[in-house]
Structure 1
């Protein structure tokens, strides 16, 4: 058996270990003890479980105690940091920032919240100042949007805008109130289209047509206002005019009885001509292009002529069909059908001489020209003449389309011996009768 000298016993452990690696025969039983601490230079890994001492406790190497305790402290610190706490024992690590800390705290807007610092007031926080500025800006924008909406509503042509503005109703439609406009819409509603192929609502169709009659706006202008094509405007006007001609005209333009006429005669007529039943006049409307519209006898014409009969109260009671402009007033009066409504003793007033006294006298009635009877005019006759002039021009002043010129499609489209413009004249007279201001004329 080989023995070790004292010099070898006093050498450092790693020297012995290194020597033992190259000289296995030099190891003794004491030097072959297994070291369990992985930090020890003599640590040798093993697949076997740790051997227990005689008292049953696990053997602890000199390096196990402090290292194991340090690892436990670091693990505990890491766990407590996640919970917002710090373990005092062991090496002190940098703690995580707490929610209430003065540094590293962010507000909802993303800027440092300095209002939580000691001695700082919330009112002086940049974040609170920024929030106040944002709130003020939001309030200003809301007020601006509200004002723009009100302006758009006032300048629009919607049903709500006209309902709230009677003056707008009178200007665009000629009707006295929104209630009358609603009544006309209710009467026409069954005869107006409202399917997917029609972009305009029933109210918009009626409003567009009334604006065409009232202001004589061009189709291009109406197309821009209502956001439709020019062709759609023309089709809409023709369809609504035809519907009003078949439904509105028969209920508003009719010949009243003699008792109804004499029940509420205006003062000017009652004093000067109590037997007056109608005031007649003829007016002509120029065509847009001469020679494109032919009369019944095939003669080209540059205008259309109409005879209109108005009761002394201002209500239109008779409208003739359009005749070529070269037809005389007498010929139109004799052929239009008005003479067939006269009774013996009736008086027909005119603003000018129509040269039709013989035709009227054949019915047992009398034709008189207001203020032109060959005698000196007195106050009653002058009042009668003013009244007749106002009554005759009322419908034409209220609806500018009657002043012309007539566009070719309105004059050339003849159906049942009646052009579209003939229907327009009848519809305008019917709308005139719906106006409350047309009844009493003093």
Structure 2
């Protein structure tokens, strides 16, 4: 292919035997624009066939190094003509048709030279063979260079086409992957949401929050001993006005009450409760003592009281109503062991008080257990609890000093399942003591016991289990009692454990009655 330099006034063209090189305009936009500016042809834009000869470069060839002066053509004053090409004036008459004829002649010349080269028997040719061979080789090199350039262009186009196709394929693959990932992400998201919901429900069940107790009666009963959340909320409503509202408190009022009930119900140690509620042991200790004091002053007077005779007779169970319609109370005793033996003061009248000091007077002695007298109404409600006394003190002494006799009215009947040596004390109140144990050796007692029906005897035994029910419901009453709870509170002259016993009985009264009314 014959190329003509595009510079205005330059007539150099690629012909057979020329030593000039012709360069296409660069693909780099910036460099290409600099070449166009150097050519300086107004309104002209190069095409694929536009070429620039090597005479417009200082070194005679283009250099791709941006730091070289031949990175952009710069010689445009007087472009020398190729020695193998005629003067420019000789080419002026030529038009495009003549240039095409010249190109065709050159092609025919090359074809003739090719045949001569193949025929080794003909060594002569027009002109000097060496110059012809040199010319042929030069032309072949130019043709090869041109073909290489064209091949490079085709390869670049093919590479660009292949690159575009690969990009499209990659985009499609990426799009498909994104769609697949989107579906996978959605499925994973739904699975995570489900897992999160299950974990929340599981955490809610394990947590000690108000919401978890409100919807789970079994949880309320296990941790507090109360039958349901309604009863728990009622106790809460009764105690809240007396609980201090500290904004900086780590435990809410609900948590304070729950912690105390868990202490009574499960007999958990303070360290265990501190871990469960995330507080210090000292906080647990203060909370338990404070809530116990509040319940002792507010809940106990409300739930543990001696009802009137009219109310007692109105609510008597049917079996008791037939056998002992005047029954006012059923009494019994129970003992609780101490974790550590403590000293007690015993005054001449028999009244006792516990302390953690060493015995210093003749009226002090060490004890390892406490005894309590409990009075239960025929329908199974605890109506009286004495203060704790040393376990070696007689029943008569406890009954005489605990205040039970002051509750009796003339004509009342006091039932007991074992022999209490208090018949004379009860008789002094013009009341009557009846022992329900038929194995008693006294003949009169056996005769009176024979009158008791089997049904009423079962009621007595059932009522007698109230103490076991209270202990079972609040394990702290089974002992051993920790030493800090045996210290007397100077403000009320009652030990903390005495308060705990009465609070446990009050909470037990809020549950279902031990004996049906009918």
Q: TM-score, normalised by structure 1?
A: 0.73
In structure 1, the residue matched to 2:446 is 374
Counterpart Cα distance in 1 of 2:372 and 2:428: 22
Establish whether residue 330 from structure 1 lines up as the match of residue 396 from structure 2. Answer: yes
Aligned-residue offset at 1:345: 0.7
Aligned-residue offset at 1:439: 5.9
Q: Which runs of 5+ in 1 are unaligned?
A: 1-11, 14-37, 44-62, 74-90, 107-111, 117-121
Instruction: For residues 266-308 of structure 1, give each alpha carbon's deviation from its aligned partner in whole angstroms, at most 9, with x where no partner exists.
Output: 1221122111001111111111111356553422211111111
In structure 1, the residue matched to 2:331 is 280
Contact 1:347 1:367 in 2 (8 A): yes
In structure 2, the residue matched to 1:403 is 478
Counterpart Cα distance in 1 of 2:462 and 2:183: 69
In structure 1, the residue matched to 2:499 is 423
**What does 1:147-296 correspond to in 2, within 5 Å?**
147-291=198-342, 295-296=352-353
In structure 2, the residue matched to 1:414 is 489
Counterpart Cα distance in 2 of 1:150 and 1:279: 47
Establish whether residue 432 from structure 1 lines up as the match of residue 407 from structure 2. Answer: no
Counterpart Cα distance in 1 of 2:286 and 2:216: 28
In structure 2, the residue matched to 1:357 is 423
Instruction: For residues 208-233 of structure 1, give each alpha carbon's deviation from its aligned partner in whole angstroms, at most 9, with x where no partner exists.
Output: 11111112122122122111222211
Match of 2:172 among 105, 111, 114: 114
Larger Rg: 2
Match of 1:310 among 376, 383, 393: 376
Aligned-partner SS, 2:339: coil
Counterpart Cα distance in 1 of 2:211 and 2:324: 46
Superposed CA RMSD? 3.0
**Structure-2 change in CA distance of 1:201 and 1:102 (3 Å):** farther
Q: Which runs of 5+ in 2 are unaligned?
A: 1-8, 11-33, 49-152, 346-351, 354-362, 439-444
Aligned-residue offset at 1:440: 2.3
**Structure-2 change in CA distance of 1:178 and 1:268 (3 Å):** same
Contact 2:367 2:391 in 1 (8 A): yes
Aligned-residue offset at 1:323: 1.4
Counterpart Cα distance in 2 of 1:391 and 1:204: 29
Counterpart Cα distance in 2 of 1:381 and 1:129: 78
Instruction: For residues 38-57 of structure 1, give each alpha carbon's deviation from its aligned partner in whole angstroms, at most 9, with x where no partner exists.
Output: 999xx9xxxxxxxxxxxxxx
Aligned-residue offset at 1:127: 2.5
Counterpart Cα distance in 1 of 2:35 and 2:475: 110
Counterpart Cα distance in 2 of 1:437 and 1:153: 32
Counterpart Cα distance in 1 of 2:376 and 2:327: 11
Instruction: For residues 381-401 of structure 1, give each alpha carbon's deviation from its aligned partner in whole angstroms, at most 9, with x where no partner exists.
Output: 532432332334332222111
Q: TM-score, normalised by structure 2?
A: 0.62
* Aligned pairs, number: 352
Counterpart Cα distance in 1 of 2:301 and 2:316: 23
